[in-house]
Structures are given as C-alpha cells and as structure tokens.
Amino acid sequence: MNNTLILPAGYQPLLGIQETERAIKALKDFVELNLATELNLSRVTAPLFVKSGTGINDDLNGIERPVGFPVKDLKGERAEIVHSLAKWKRLMLEQLGFEPGYGLYTDMNAIRADEQLDNTHSLYVDQWDWERVIRPEERNLAFLKKIVCKIYSILKRTEHFVYERYPNIRPELPEEITFVHTEELLARYPTLTPKEREQACLRECGAAFIVGIGGALPNGEIHDGRAPDYDDWTTPTVNGYHGLNGDIFVWNPVLNMAFELSSMGIRVDPATLRRQLEIRNCTDREQLYFHRRLLNHELPLSLGGGIGQSRLCMYYLRKAHIGEIQASLWPDEMIAVCRQHRIALL
C-alpha cells in the first residue's frame, strides 16, 4: 500500500453515503451552471478515446502510459483512453466556430493507469475541461489573473451553496486568492521541495494560484512537470518571471495539506510551441496532426483548464479520501485500513 496515505486522527464523515451522493449531484450541477455562466461556455460532448499518433491526447508529464486498444473496424488502428482533453478542446473551438470571449466545457472522464493511488489520486479522473477563445492582446498575465479570479468567485459561491444546505460544513476559503510565482516560492523557501513550498504557502494564505509551473527555476529544476504543447510556461511576464499558466490550490482542513483543485493556462501559440518542444527535446511532434494544425495557424488562440470534479466534492464535503466521492479500484490493504479509520471507499 502507498505509504503516503493520510489517515486523519478522529476522522468522522459529516455526511452519510446516501446524503453524500445527493450532495455530489447538487454540487456538480451548481458548479457546472456557474462555470458556464461566468466564463461564457457552452457544453459539448467529449470523447473517451482518441486515435493514437495524432498528438491530440494530453501527455501530462510525458511519462504516463495511455490505456490503448486496437479498433477492429479501423483496420487495427490503435485508440487510447484520454488523459485529459487539453488539446482536443482547441480543435473543437475551431471546428465549432467560437468567437473570442466564448468557449466550451465538457465532462471529461479519463483513465490514468500509472497514477500513484492515495487520498487524492485515483485511476479514474473526472473533471470539467473548459477552453475559451482569446484575442492576441489577451495573451498576458493580467488577463490570466482576471479569469482565475472569476473561477475563484465560483469557488466562493459554491462554499456558500454548501453551507446553506449543510450548516455543519463551515466556510474556510479566504475572501481573495493569492497569486504567487514558482520563483517567488523558491526564493521564499529555498531549502524546501516544491511540494513543501506549496504546503508552506497554502498554510499561510488559504488559497493561491501558483504561476509558471513547468518552466525552469533559477536552481535548474522545475516546480512540477508540464507537457510542452498546451500550456505556455515560457513567455516572459513581469519581474523577470516566465509563464502564463498555473494551478489553483486551497488549504484542505481535513487532510491538513495544500490541495490542488484546478490546472489552467493560456495556451501556446506557434512560436511558443516550437520553443517548448525544443526545450523538451521533442521537436518530432511538429509532424503530428494537432501540432501541424497549430503551427499552420489553423487553431484559435485560447485559454483553458480542468477542474477536478471529485476533488472539488471531496473538498467541499470535507472527505478524507477521493474514494468517498467516486467509485474506483483500490488496493485491498488500503480499503481495510481506511475502513478502520471510518473512511468508507465506494
């Protein structure tokens, strides 16, 4: 069993299983409606799998293996279960003809077979994947922060929605979200690891958008991995920093940890794509379908991200394990240990 499993002392679920299921439905409906309204998004249907070798699937950190299978009626061509829809969404923006200021969202379901299973990570991933067309003058940090604040306003609204229905779940989020760059975190906590820096920062501020994830830090390391072909993590911004992307974190009072809810960013343009493919030594991807279309200026400029559905419900309902929200597979030992600590995995 994964030795990073967190077992909160004295943990007692605030909602029973049936009430939790009803709360999950209400929560998801509320967030989905607010996301669509706040960001001018229309719902579209998402694929569960895409063709291998097209460059459409999300490569995450570049080491995770997609679950794949041959398709009989496509002469044995392989399909692969999506990791996320980071690049597929941009193709859809062009295909469906969205104008600047408007975009799409979808219910994304994925399988990540190489995920290390613990309180917050599952083989099964469900998130709202969203993407919105932007203008050239909006490819900047100020515009990214504006969209982050819109999303944070949804998180605050949702907190009140939950509190109205379950008064024993007290609001925890600060009034405003803190913006901090990965280089600032390194300077502030030079002896800590990236995860420890997140922990220290979120313990202090309660909610933060950590900017510039994926780009090289002054010590030669990266804060966390990012694929080179969707988020822009190299464009210069302010104070010598780089990156037009980041993650939204909140402080989780049950697990006593920094808790990621969303990853998002302004997407690469052709010049940035070439630069980041060179940095990652994978310029051969320029020949893939998605990358050719982007480099040929056939896809709109965009900003987008993903918001974890089970993660969000886990946070708002004060659950200790993502398996209390979604049905997945867990090691027998983990199931037994969780049961001993009143954590009922579905």
Residue 110 pLDDT: 85
Type of residue at 168: N
Q: Are the C-beta atoms of 277 and 294 separated by less than 8 Å?
A: no
Distance between CA atoms of residues 109 and 146, nearest Å = 28
Q: Which CATH superfamily is domain 17-340 in?
A: Bira Bifunctional Protein; Domain 2 (3.30.930.10)
CA distances from 85 to 18, 106, 127 (A): 31, 9, 10
Distance between CA atoms of residues 55 and 53, nearest Å = 6
Find the catalytic residue in 84, 127, 310, 328: 127
- Determine the distance from the C-alpha atom of residue 275 to the mean position of all C-alpha atoms in its chain, rounded to a whole number: 23
Domain coordinates in residue numbering, the chain: 17-340
Find the catalytic residue in 59, 80, 90, 112: 112
Place of tokens 């279309």: 293
Q: Are the C-beta atoms of 242 and 215 separated by less than 8 Å?
A: yes
pLDDT tens-digit readout, 26-61: 999 999 999 999 999 999 998 888 888 777 777 655
pTM above threshold 0.75: yes
The list of the chain residues with pLDDT below 50 reads: none
Residue 260 a catalytic site member: yes
The DSSP 8-state label assigned to residue 84 in this structure reads -
Residue 217 pLDDT: 94
How many Cα atoms are found within 13 Å in the side-chain-facing hemisphere of 163? Answer: 10
Helix then strand count (H, E) for the chain reads: 9, 11
- Sequence-ordered list of residues with C-beta below 8 angstroms from that of 91, at least 6 positions apart, any chain: 56, 290, 293, 299
Find the catalytic residue in 131, 159, 231, 247: 247
Residue 73 pLDDT: 82
